[in-house]
Every structure is written in structure tokens, then in C-alpha cells.
Amino acid sequence: MSRLIIISNRVSPATGEGGGNQGGLAVALSAALRESNGLWFGWSGEETETFTGAINFQRADGVATATIDLEAQDIDEYYNGFANQTLWPLFHYRIDLAEFERGFAGGYERVNARFADTVSPLLDKDDLIWVHDYHLMPLGRELRRRDFANRIGFFLHIPWPPMRLLVSLPSHRELVESLFSYDVVGFQTRDSLEAFIDYVNGQMELTVDADGMVEFQGHKVHLIACPIGVDCEQFRRASEGEAAAAMRARMTASANDRTMIIGVDRLDYSKGLAERFLGYERFLSARPEMHGKVFLLQIAPPSRGDVTSYQEIRSSLDNLSGRINGEFSDAEWVPLRYVNRGYPRDELAGMYRAARIGLVTPLRDGMNLVAKEYVVAQDAEDPGVLILSRFAGAAEQLLDALLINPHSPEEIADAIAQALAMPLAERRRRWQSLFETVCSQDVMWWWREFTRVLEAVPQPSPSEAAEG
């Protein structure tokens, strides 16, 4: 087995028993690294006055990490700029929020080259290199320019946008061409894979064969859809553990016999929080008989606070939640509990289990792990109902959820009413099928599947590598 090198914007290995409080992705990648004695490389999250390329090596619980600091201009242009103000909105279909600034694009290229320069001395020729997400799309090309003939894979965690949207990015062609330096390019869903194929057919006049193989300038790339999952076993255990039970008991006590609906999201415009609140408001207006009988707990820790569009969504949600509570609350009942903080994962598992409905309504989402966590955390005897946006990647797999269009307050309101009235037998049947799907393609399956495909790529002979 080859040594695995994971390269991502941030490095967050899981340490402690069962990964402690880290998410499934950290747990899975850490397991993959332990198995191959690999290395995880990325940005420390820290700022330095001038970029030096100095590497901070650490090893914890059998996982080796190597991190670098970035200078202020890098963070502005690469991270807050091109990644989070250009690519993120554009890839989530929010062209109205996307900023196309040359400085951002330049910073993105510069930081990708810096990643390549710094990681290069750490790489051996047999290493399997796995690059993650939209921050680092050109990294494969940068490594090829430095003569690495290794097998290099890329996985995109966010959606791939339709061709007609992507072409609004001034450097769209260069960005897509850079992906052809990889041997394997993985997407979350068939839908994203098809949008990518549509682009390479339409803009590059290339043909992708039935197995997902496409050739560009003499190099073959394997395109796959490989949906990420959650750590089913660990999260199930957490949801049955003490911390979850204690949290569940606290939630039940504070619910005071009212039925709880839960939403858990990073505070991001792609998550459809305003639309969710409006759908819930519609439900309350249409069903006065339900007043005092339900409440929505929305947990939304702030993220990317340096970016203006995130400050704006935060203040508009403050207003909207205030308006809804002002309109419907009475002395004994507050219909919307809106909380801007994160919770430890085991407590989150308890909250999911205490909720009769999981309300997951992103306007666009690569996958959405909250939907899968909600399913895993349910009590098999008395499971809750998942309401899920059709535009989350997870909707391709979770067909037994109540699938809705998050832009329609009526559909959200009707789905809430349907979920509240759903008989136990139907809840059990739907949940059983969702649980089987989520656990058969969990996050361990995901990394094994991706690395299996990458490992199957024939390694170039030394002469080919020299020519390449």
C-alpha cells in the first residue's frame, strides 16, 4: 500500500477516543492516514508577517500533520477572496454574491504555488496524493509543473455548477483545465459529475466515455461521483452514550411536552436559513391549532465573519427570527429558539434524537452531513422524520426523506404538518431505509472507495514520467 498524502486548506486530525469531538471527515481521514502511515498537509489557520514556508510538524494519535502559516495578503486574496467570495458563491449558484477581482485570482494562484513549493520536499515518488476542495483546485497542476508523476486525486466537497453559470468566471477555462492534471477527480453527486461533463463536452469539445474516462493533452483523467458520508458507527455510539442522553433529557425537560423541530447549520447563505424560517412562519400562520405545541430549535454558529455577505445574512436572520417570535410568542411559548453557537458532537447527537423533525433546507449543498447525522442519531423504536431539500447532494441518496423545494414556504409548511402527523409505522419504514443507506455508504466507505480508484490508476514507468 502506498503512503497517503492528504492536502487540504485546513488540517484537523481527529485525536482522542473515537475522534473526540471532531466531525466524521476528520475521523475518516485520520483513519486513512494511520493505516498508510501518511501525512496531512495544509494551512495552520495562523497569520505570519511574511510567508516563509516554515513547516510545523506534529504527530498525535498516530496521525502526522505538517502545517504552514500564511501572510495577511494571502488570507485576504486566497481564502477570504477567491475561495470564499468568488468560488463559494458561484459554485452555490449565487452569482449575485460572487466577486470577480483579479487580485483574488492572483492570490489564489500564488497560494497554490506556495502550497506546492512547500509540500514538494515532503513527497516521495510512490506517494498517493489526495487534494481536497475548492481552495486547492490548481494544486495538481502546480505539482505536475514541479515534475511529480505521482498518482494525484482531487475531491470537490461543494457542488459543481452548471456550465452556463461557470462561464461567468473570467478564468473558468484555466480553472477547469487545471483539473486535468489529476488522475482522478471526484464529485459528491451524479448531478455535479454530469454538470462537469456538460462543461467539458460544451466548452472543450472532449468526450467522456461511459466509465468516466476523458483524455486531455495526452493525460487520462477518471471522473467519478463518490458521495461522502458520516462516521455511522461512532455517531450511533455517541447518540446512545451518556452525554447525548443527558442532553436529550435536558431538551425534553425544557420542551415541556412540546414537539421539537431541529435545524443545525453553519451560518451560511447556502443553507437556506431565511427560507426555512419563512416556511416555519407559514406553518404557524396556517395552523393556529399548533401554537404552543411545537418549537423550532435552530443552531447556527457564525462562520466566515470577515466576509460582508456573511455579516449581512447574520443580521437579516436576527431580524427575521425576532419578527417571527414577536408575531407568535406568548407568555409561555417561544416558537423559534435561534442559537448562534456550536455544540460538542455528542451533545448534538442527543439534540437530534430529541427532535421529532430534522429540518434541512439548503438552497444548494455539496452533500450535507447534518441530514445524515440526524438519521444516524434516531431511536429505532420511535424515529423522527427528515425533511430535506431537493438541492442538497444528500437528496440523491436519501429518497425516503420528505423531499421539498426550499424556495417554497408552502412546501416547507406542508412537510412539517405531514411529518407531525406521520404514523409510527411509516416513520419506522422511512427511517429504516434511510439508516441502511447512510450506514452502507458511510465516511469510511467513501475514503476507501476514492483511494481504491486512485490506487488503480497505472503508475507511469520511469521513462514516461521523465517525458511527462
Query: Shortest distance, CB of residue 92 to ligand ADQ, whole angstroms?
Result: 8
Query: Shortest distance, CB of residue 398 to ligand ADQ, whole angstroms?
Result: 12
Q: Which of 92, 135, 157, 222 is catalytic?
A: 157
- Smaller CB separation from ligand ADQ, 148 or 182: 182
- Smaller CB separation from ligand ADQ, 165 or 290: 165
State the chain's maximal CA–CA distance in angstroms. Answer: 78
Which phi and psi (to 5°) does residue 401 adopt? -75, 170
* Sheet strands side by side (includes 385-389): 336-339, 294-299, 259-264, 357-360, 385-389, 402-404
- Are 402 and 415 within 8 A, CB to CB? yes
**Pairwise CA distance, residues 189 & 446, whole Å:** 12
Query: Shortest distance, CB of residue 415 to ligand ADQ, whole angstroms?
Result: 19
Query: Shortest distance, CB of residue 342 to ligand ADQ, whole angstroms?
Result: 3
- Smaller CB separation from ligand ADQ, 271 or 430: 271
Query: What is the SS3 string spanning 385-444?
Result: EEEEECCEHHHHCCCCCEEECCCCHHHHHHHHHHHHHCCHHHHHHHHHHHHHHHHHCCHH
Q: Which of 425, 300, 430, 419 is nearest to 375 (CA)?
A: 430
Q: Per the structure block, which three cell numbers stand in for 358?
A: 430534522
- Smaller CB separation from ligand ADQ, 399 or 424: 399
- Residues near ligand ADQ (CB under 6 A) are 23, 25, 157-158, 228, 264-266, 299, 301, 342-343, 348, 365-370, 373, 393
SS3 content of the chain, % helix, strand, coil (to 5): 50, 20, 30
Query: What is the SS3 string spanning 200-249?
Result: HHHCCCCCCCCCCEEEECCEEEEEEECCCCCCHHHHHHHHHCHHHHHHHH
Q: CA triplet 367, 368, 374: central angle to 5 degrees?
A: 135
- Smaller CB separation from ligand ADQ, 143 or 367: 367
**Pairwise CA distance, residues 458 & 394, whole Å:** 32
- Smaller CB separation from ligand ADQ, 67 or 234: 234
Query: Shortest distance, CB of residue 370 to ligand ADQ, whole angstroms?
Result: 4
- Smaller CB separation from ligand ADQ, 75 or 156: 156
Query: Shortest distance, CB of residue 53 to ligand ADQ, whole angstroms?
Result: 28
Catalytic, 365? Answer yes
Supply the angle between the helices 232-240 and 369-377 in degrees, to the nearest 10.
Answer: 50
Q: Which of 110, 109, 88 is nearest to 97 (CA)?
A: 88
- Phi-psi label, residue 82: left if phi above 0, alpha if psi -120 to 50, beta otherwise: alpha
Catalytic, 414? Answer no
Q: Which of 231, 265, 365, 400 is catalytic?
A: 365
- Are 129 and 7 within 8 A, CB to CB? yes
Counting every residue, how long is the chain?
A: 468
- Smaller CB separation from ligand ADQ, 265 or 281: 265
Q: Indicate which residues carry an active-site annotation.
A: 157, 365
